[in-house]
């Protein structure tokens, strides 16, 4: 199986980020880089305590503007970017705009339970 280097984007709170970590835990056969406004150290501690058995790196940025720049850098690197649920409101509009130009990305659906929406995301091999 081809091990992919995947970027996970979640702009929401620490609780919502758990739904993204749940996705990673169920897809441990890849390597991840998380872009989140949450504190890097805190997220790394969470990854450890949840016993996620793959490499997970976390963006060191917390401010939105730097997170967006981080996403743009990953786009230039042609990395697969997954925008996990919850993905609503302004974030969704922004991501839809981005994904119009950048096809190597997956957007979680908007309506429904955030855990089930993330479970529906399929990584193509």
Partner 1 sequence: MNFILCPGSAEDQKFKRWPIFKFLELANLYITNNHNVKIVIGPQEEYLSNFFLKFEINISSTFLELKKLAQESNLIICNDSFLLHFFSILDLKVLGLYGPTDPNRTLPTNAYKISSNKKSIYRPCWGKPYYGVCDNGRCSCFDGLNALDVYKKSLNLVSRKNLAG
Residues making contact with partner 1 (CB under 8 A): 13-16, 18-19, 21-22, 25, 45-46, 49-50, 86, 88, 112-116
Nearer to partner 1, 18 or 80 (CB): 18
Which tokens is 42 given?
Answer: 């805190």
Q: Least CB distance from residue 114 to partner 1, whole Å?
A: 6
Nearer to partner 1, 90 or 103 (CB): 90
Q: Least CB distance from residue 125 to partner 1, whole Å?
A: 25
Cα–Cα distance for residue pair 25/4, rounded to 1 Å = 15
Q: Least CB distance from residue 92 to partner 1, whole Å?
A: 12
Provide the strand spans (E) within 10-119.
Answer: 31-35, 56-58, 80-83, 105-107
Nearer to partner 1, 71 or 87 (CB): 87
Cα–Cα distance for residue pair 16/124, rounded to 1 Å = 24
Which tokens is 21 given?
Answer: 């970590």
117 φ/ψ sector (left φ>0, alpha ψ -120 to 50, else beta): alpha
Nearer to partner 1, 50 or 68 (CB): 50
Q: Least CB distance from residue 46 to partner 1, whole Å?
A: 6
């Amino acid at each position: 199986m081809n091990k992919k280097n995947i970027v996970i984007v979640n702009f929401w709170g620490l609780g919502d980020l758990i739904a993204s970590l749940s996705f990673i835990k169920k897809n441990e056969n890849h390597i991840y880089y998380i872009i989140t406004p949450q504190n890097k150290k805190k997220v790394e501690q969470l990854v450890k305590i949840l016993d996620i058995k793959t490499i997970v790196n976390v963006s060191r940025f917390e401010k939105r503007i730097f997170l967006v720049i981080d996403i743009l850098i990953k786009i230039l690197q042609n990395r697969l970017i997954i925008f996990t649920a919850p993905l609503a409101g302004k974030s969704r509009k922004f991501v839809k705009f981005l994904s119009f130009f950048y096809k190597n990305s997956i957007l979680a659906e908007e309506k429904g339970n955030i855990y089930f929406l993330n479970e529906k995301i399929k990584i193509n091999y």
